[in-house]
Amino acid sequence: MMEKLTLSDSEWQARLTPEQFQVLRRHGTERPFSGCFLGTKEPGTYVCAGCDQALFIAGRKFESGTGWPSFTEPVTPDALREITDSSHGMVRTEVRCGCCDGHLGHVFPDGPPPTGLRYCMNSLALKHVPSAG
């Protein structure tokens, strides 16, 4: 079981940029095709920008054409939390960091094999850690 990170809004604001705070703590969404990780292909691990929890392996990233970085599966099932999101007049599955509960994006059942899932993430919610070596 991973240790949960809980901070006050002022502590999060000191830790994050205003744009990251809007996405991670206020459940915002960056504009499509604007994120820095959209077309990246470098090996490594994508971690939560709020707490550095490992979330996705770069080798599980794919081009979905949606305008956000997309992945087929998390590094481990407990790296993420999934919550029903009925905002904006639709029902979706929100994805949050399993450690700090930061909003990352949404998951949809229209991804490629082997999972058939598309974890559609905000670049602002992620940091890339290159592979060692």
CA 100 to chain CA centroid, nearest Å:
12
CB atoms within 10 A of CB 21: 20
CA–CA dist 5, 64 (Å, integer): 31
Q: Rounded CA gap, 30 and 125, in Å?
A: 10
Estimate to the nearest angstrom the gap between the alpha carbon of 39 and the chain centroid.
15
**Catalytic residue numbers, as ranges:** 120
Write the CA distances from 131 to 86, 98, 124, integer angstroms.
37, 22, 20
Sign of CA dihedral 30, 32, 78, 45: negative
